[in-house]
Homo-oligomer: A and B are copies of this chain.
Amino acid sequence: MLIIGGPASNNLENEIADIIGMRSLKVDYKIFPDGESYIRFPEKLEEDIVLIQSLFPPQDKHLIELFLMIDTAYNLGAERVIVVVPYMAYSRQDKRFLEGEAISIESILKIIEKLGTKYFLTVDIHKENSLKILSIPYTNIVPTVLFAEKIQELNLDNIVILSPDAGGIGRVRDVAEKIGCEYDFLEKRRDRISGEVRLRPKNIDVANKNIVIIDDIISTGGTISLAAKQVIKNGARSVYVLCTHALLINNAVKKILSSGVKEIIATNTIPNIYSKISVAPLIASVLNNLFK
């Protein structure tokens, strides 16, 4: 087995290979002056190939690179290509909100399968249900164990873990049970008179608590900063933000930190200075099980 990092692997191929004790390499890549991508495997390929390519922005370029890598790997003699996508792009276009819309995540997953992928591995996809379009086996890694470890390192007492919406309650419950603390989700309410949107914990009083808000993707940071402001107003002692995928587009960081958040902590599915948790051990463990 050979673990190969694509142009957007964020060095995970080396981290994973070190853990499993396998060989890794990085593809050769460049961008031509007209904007086209170039991909080359610098060594002869083995039978079993693990391709690692995250799909953070520019998503479309990283997708085309991934497609070129899968097809070329088979062309060069690989027999089984396992695809690892730490951050799955297009995962939020997962249903037809309006008639006639593309369900983009399904189209993208179909292409990955049609190119011959034998196993698909991703981390904390926005809706796990989206993966059901695949007929190949897959794993969606939810890094709750890593979140729990990280929170324990923060050495806080009176912790409350909050999900910014009802949909994320499972994620915060998992983490809370691991460290033995309270958890809740934030309820969105629109003030009948002012029209102002308020987020408040459904069941828990946050006064004097250390709050950890956990989400899957932080994009523009709007919800998170609103949530932080409200819990601080309600007497929270501190607010930390944890997420799997820190897209942090536009002025998200400024927005979040100026709302009173002490620290932003994310995994390394997307490279940036907040990527303080590596998902490599979890990916390595899945790969190890596949090949034992």
> Which residues of A are at the interface with B, using a C-beta cutoff of 8 A?
28, 33-44, 57-61, 63-64, 67-69, 71-72, 75-76, 89-90, 92-93, 98, 100-104, 106-108, 110-111, 114-115, 219-220, 247, 249-250
Contacts and interface: CB of A to CB of B under 8 A. Distances in A.
15 contacts: A28-B100, A34-B247, A36-B89, A38-B101, A39-B101, A40-B101, A60-B64, A64-B108, A67-B108, A67-B111, A71-B102, A72-B100, A72-B101, A72-B107, A114-B114
A220 B250 CA distance: 33
This chain: copies in complex: 2
Given A39-B104, A40-B100, A250 B33 contact: yes
A234 to B, nearest CB: 29
Q: What are the nearest 7 A-B pairs in CB distance?
A: A71-B107, A41-B100, A72-B102, A39-B102, A60-B60, A114-B114, A35-B57
Contacts of A28: 100
Contact of A100 (B36, B43, B106): B43
A247 to B, nearest CB: 6
A93 B44 CA distance: 20
